[in-house]
Amino acid sequence: MSRTMHPFLAAQRSGHAGKVVSATDAVRLIRPGDTVATGGFVGIGFAEGIAIALEELWLSTDERAPQHRRKPGNLTLVYAAGQGDGRTRGLNHLGHEGLIRRVIGGHWGLVPKLQESWPSPTASRPTTCRRA
């Protein structure tokens, strides 16, 4: 089963652009259903600009965007430590219903908006893995 190359990647490989791209262009590479991993601890080493760009793309109302730039919802998020400030920064940017479908992570105290983004009390809420 062959997979077609993302149009943005094709442009990157053609030599017309460098390897460094804007946060906006980077999040446009994310497709619906993809898995996204983040790093950092609290506010150190976290790619705040990427999280902001992903949030802005999700909240945008421009439906005229080409097919390869559709909104990347139903994502799986993988992270290991608290990445936020307990209010608005860090992974809290991803706390919008429909953006994140599954979370594999820990230390939920700093990401209340991510916790609240699940659609209903009966939906599968995030859980923390515990040692047996």
List pLDDT tens digits, range 101-127.
Answer: 999 988 888 888 988 886 655 555 555
Residue 52 sits at φ, ψ, to 5 deg, of -65, -45
More confident residue, 63 or 30: 30
Check residue 130 and give its pLDDT.
Answer: 45
C-alpha to C-alpha distance for 98 and 85, rounded to whole angstroms: 22
Provide the 3-class DSSP secondary structure of residue 16.
Answer: coil
List pLDDT tens digits, range 82-94.
Answer: 898 889 999 999 9
Q: Which residue type sits at 8?
A: F
Check residue 131 and give its pLDDT.
Answer: 45
**Hey, which bits of the chain come out as E strands?**
35-37, 75-78, 100-104
Helices (H) and strands (E) in the chain, counts: 4, 3
